[in-house]
Amino acid sequence: MENPPRGLPAPPPLGAAALPPGTFAGQVVLVTGGGTGLGRAVATEFARLGADLVIASRRAEHLKAAQEELAAVPGAGRVTAAVCDIRDPERVAGVFDAAEAAFGLPDVLVNNAAANFPSPAEDLSPNAWRAVVDITLTGTWFMTREFGRRHLTAGTPGSIVNIGASYAWTGGPGFAHSAAAKAGVKNLVETLAVEWGPYGVQINGLVPGLFPHADMTEDIRGGLEHAAPGARDARQPALRVGAPRELGWAATFLASPYARFVTGHTLVVDGANWQRRSVVNPEVVPVREQLGRGPFGP
What does DSSP say about strands 158-163 and 201-208: parallel, antiparallel, or unpaired?
Answer: parallel
Q: Is the separation of the CB atoms in 103 and 81 below 8 Å?
A: no
* Ordered DSSP codes for 57-102: ES-GGGHHHHHHHHHTSTT---EEEEE--TT-HHHHHHHHHHHHHH
C-alpha span between 125 and 99 (Å, rounded): 36
Candidate list 167, 175, 196, 211, residue with the active-site label: 167
- Phi/psi-derived region of residue 50, left when phi > 0, alpha when psi is between -120 and 50, beta in every other case: left
Q: How many CB atoms lie within 10 A of CB 258?
A: 14
Report phi then psi at 48, rounded to 5. Answer: -60, -25
Residue 167 is among the residues annotated as catalytic for this protein: yes
Maximum CA extent, the chain: 64
| Residues labelled catalytic | 167
